[in-house]
Amino acid sequence: MDPEKPDAAPARPKRRFEPADGDYERRVRESYATQTFMQHIGAELGRIEPGYCEILLPFDRRLCQQDGFLHAGVTTTLADNACGYAAYTLMPEGSRVLSVEFKMNLLRPASGESFAARAEVIKPGRNLTVLEGTVYALSGEEGEKVEKEIAFMVATMTRA
């Protein structure tokens, strides 16, 4: 799956941030690799930038709700994780990131060949970081990929 789709939905952050630790991407990837649940559902990290994180998931029939759509719990998992690591990119070395709270609006049935959650920082802070994350359903052939917004999250993350 190619996260670069210039004619599609915003696959890059709208805001720019200066990371406190230039080694942010390595830290994110190392932390991500220890999350057993992300492996259990088959999700992978995509693009990582300061204040931004993308997570990708192929559709899998084991991840569905009663109507055959991706379960809202999975959609939320993608968005929460993307928000968490987007916040983490701006934290100093040695930090841990924890979800304080989040809100999801489910916009459309989660139907697609694969899914991408893209999160970015709205407001960084010493203790609390506020983020927005959008989950997209992707379908179609390479070069004609269609992306639909299926969920929108606002999240508050903290540094521990």
- Exposure string (b/e) for 37-76, b if CB count within 10 Å is 16 or more? ebeebebebbbbbbbbbbbbbebeeebeeeeebbeeebbb
Q: Which of residues 42-61 bind a copy of itself (CB under 8 A)?
A: 61
Give the span between the Cα atoms of 84 and 79, in whole angstroms.
8
Minimum distance, C-beta of residue 3 to a copy of itself, in the bound complex (Å): 6
CB nearer a copy of itself, residue 20 or residue 64: 64
| Least Cβ distance, residue 46 to a copy of itself (angstroms) | 17
Part in contact with a copy of itself (CB under 8 A); list of ranges 18-26, 44-52, 105-113, 139-147: 105-113
Is the CB of residue 31 less than 8 Å from the CB of residue 67?
Answer: no
**Alpha carbons 134 and 10: distance in angstroms, whole number:** 10
Among 24, 81, 115, 147, binds a copy of itself (CB under 8 A): 81
25's enclosing H/E stretch is helix 24-33
Residues of this chain that interact with a copy of itself (CB under 8 A) are 1-3, 6, 14-16, 31-32, 34-41, 61-67, 71-74, 76-78, 80-81, 96, 98-108, 122-123, 127-128, 130, 132, 149, 152, 154, 156, 158
